Every structure is written in structure tokens, then in C-alpha cells.
Amino acid sequence: GTLTKKKKGCNDCCQEDRRRKEDTITTANDIMALRRPRQNVGLIAMGLILAGIACLAVYEYRSRNEAQQGDRAIPTTWNRDNKGDKDCGREGKLECRVDAEDQGARSGKFRRWRNNETVSVTEVLGGRFFRMERHTVNVGKTKQIDDWMWVEVPDMVNCLVQDDKGDFLLFRQNKYGMKGPSLAPIGGYLEQGEEGADGCRREVLEEMGMECPKQIPLGVYRTDANRGFGWYHAFHLKHCRKSDKHVPSDDWERQTLVRLTKKELVRELLDGNVKELKWANTFALAVLRESSEFGQGGGTGPGG
């Protein structure tokens, strides 16, 4: 009888333990059921984020591919047997202009240079701000060079600013390709369809917030006589004053405004503190023109 009672007691205990475990499992399942919707929301959000990243990656790839195709929008070869730009290089059309839109560039103008010595041209590499070509050129009556490298960039402008007190306003700045700081004028690439004088006014307003009623052209010059590198327009702007117009500038380089007299500018030039060829040329032309009776002067520009 005692064993039977103990056995019944054990059975009761086991059943009680079993009920407790079942209650615990039921409670845990209820908790998981409550958490499951939150987990589902998290998984859905993660899926949407990954899908968005994938869409951005596809868009970026297509954009780059289209840009590269745009850079190759013009014929990559040219020669004298009427292939490619058939009129370019012929008599009466020695220098040929290609608008940036046709070239695949985003700003400025590219030019195709062909003359009577040009036999053929092959584009080697093209980008937003440059085009590299390999020319075959006749030199003299018997010599032919097959690997004459030629580089074009959009037309650019340099503008020397002089205020109504007669002082010259320059920038002291660092550039990637120079050792140490240099004095510099205002400058930049011309926008598509923009003339030199208009580009100079725009650059001065953007970078210095000034307007200049008198603008003196100093000429248009080829940057490198045998390798190209575009044309640059030089200007001397006088009687410049602060403008009420606010035009945002996209110039991200650090630079310090410097005010110099004419004598101080000449001294800086002679001391080698103007370290870029176009800048030195612009300063020297302006000072020379102010100091002499030579008159207008200046280069004749493209084709001249």
C-alpha cells in the first residue's frame, strides 16, 4: 500500500512537471509569435535597402558606360581621302572647331587641328576636359612623322583685374603641378558657346564678386605650338568694383586675395613668383601695354 501511494505521488509530480513544461513552451511560443512580425518587418526593410543599393549600382554603371560612349561620339580617325571630317584640313578650312556637345565633353570647346601637313589623325584617348590624338605629319618634302602626339583641351581665359584705385587684384594659390604657391589671375575654361570676353566677365563675377566696365583684350594664344593644349584668351579688366549680384562659385581651391601696385606686380614677375606660363604672359602683356606706346598688340588666335 505504501509503494502504491508513493507511485501515485510520483505520477502526480510527473504530471505536474509535464504541465509546467507545456505551459512554459506555450508561453515561449506566444512570445515568439509576438516577435515574429517585428522580425518580418526588419527582413523586409533589409531587403528594400539591398534592392535600392543594387538599383544605384546599375544606374551608376549605365551612366559611366553612356559617358564613355559619349566621349567616343566623333569619328576616331581622319585622313585626307575624304574619310572622317572631309572638309577639315582642306584649303580654306585649316582649323576645325567641334562643339563640346559633339565631342562628349561637358563644358568648353574642343578644336580639331588639321593643316596642309596633316596626313591622318587617330584619337587615342578622350575625356571630359581633354582629347589626345596621334597625328601623322609631313615635315618638309621627304620626312614623315607617324607618332606626332597632339592634345586638345577646351578654350580657356585669364583675366587680370585692376580696381578703380589702380591696384591689381590677384590670388596667391597652390596648384597640383607647381612647387609652392604662385600669384595667379582669375581664370578658367570657357563654357559651351561662350566667347572669351563673356567668359572673363563671368569668371570675375564668380570668383571675386566684381564687375568691370572696361575690358581690354590682350590676345588669343596657342598654349603649346607643337603639342596643342588649347587656346587661351588674355584680358586686362579695369575700374572693377564690387557687384550687387551674387553668383555662386564652383571653385574649391584655397586661395588668398592679394592687392599689388603696378611696381609691386613687376617685381613679383621678375622675382619668379608667377610660376605658370599663361599667368606670367597675361601679367606681362598688361603691364607692357600700360607702360608703352606699342598699342593693342596681342596674338591673332585660332587659325591666325
Q: Can you name the residues that pair with 189 across neighbouring β-strands?
A: 156
Q: Are residues 6 and 96 in the same domain?
A: no
Distances (CA, A) of 236 to 157, 171, 243, 282: 11, 15, 18, 8
Give the pLDDT score at 99. Answer: 42
Q: Are 113 and 123 in contact (CB under 8 A)?
A: no
Q: Are residues 181 and 281 in the same domain?
A: yes
Q: Are residues 184 and 257 in the same domain?
A: yes
Give the pLDDT score at 123. Answer: 86
Give the pLDDT score at 46. Answer: 76
Q: Are residues 211 and 235 in the same domain?
A: yes
Q: Are 99 and 73 in contact (CB under 8 A)?
A: no
In a domain? residue 296: no
Alpha helices for the chain (secondary structure H): 2-71, 100-103, 196-208, 262-270, 277-291
Q: Are residues 130 and 169 in the same domain?
A: no
Residue 113: all three cell numbers together: 587641328
d(CA 191, CA 108): 4
Structural domain that includes position 23: 1-71
Q: Which of 148, 169, 124 is nearest to 227 (CA)?
A: 148
Give the pLDDT score at 56. Answer: 72
Give the pLDDT score at 63. Answer: 57
Give the pLDDT score at 24. Answer: 58
Give the pLDDT score at 103. Answer: 38
Q: Are residues 167 and 274 in the same domain?
A: yes
Q: Are residues 133 and 162 in the same domain?
A: no
Number of domains in the chain: 3
The whole model's pTM is what? 0.65
Give the pLDDT score at 276. Answer: 94
Tell me how many degrees the CA angle 293-298-301 measures, rounded to the nearest 5.
165
Q: Can you name the residues that pair with 79 across neighbouring β-strands?
A: 83, 120
Give the pLDDT score at 213. Answer: 93
Give the pLDDT score at 72. Answer: 42
- Domain-terminating residue out of 107, 137, 152: 152
Give me the half-sphere count of Cα atoms (radius 13 Å) on the Cβ side of residue 15: 6
User: Which residues of the chain carry a pLDDT beneath 70?
Assistant: 1-42, 58-110, 247-252, 292-304
- Domain-terminating residue out of 55, 71, 87: 71
DSSP string, 240-296: EEE-S--------S-EEEEEE-HHHHHHHHHTT---SHHHHHHHHHHHHHHHSS--S
Q: Which of 191, 203, 196, 188 is nearest to 101 (CA)?
A: 191
d(CA 197, CA 195): 6
Tell me how many degrees the CA angle 57-63-69 measures, rounded to the nearest 5.
135
Q: Are residues 114 and 213 in the same domain?
A: no
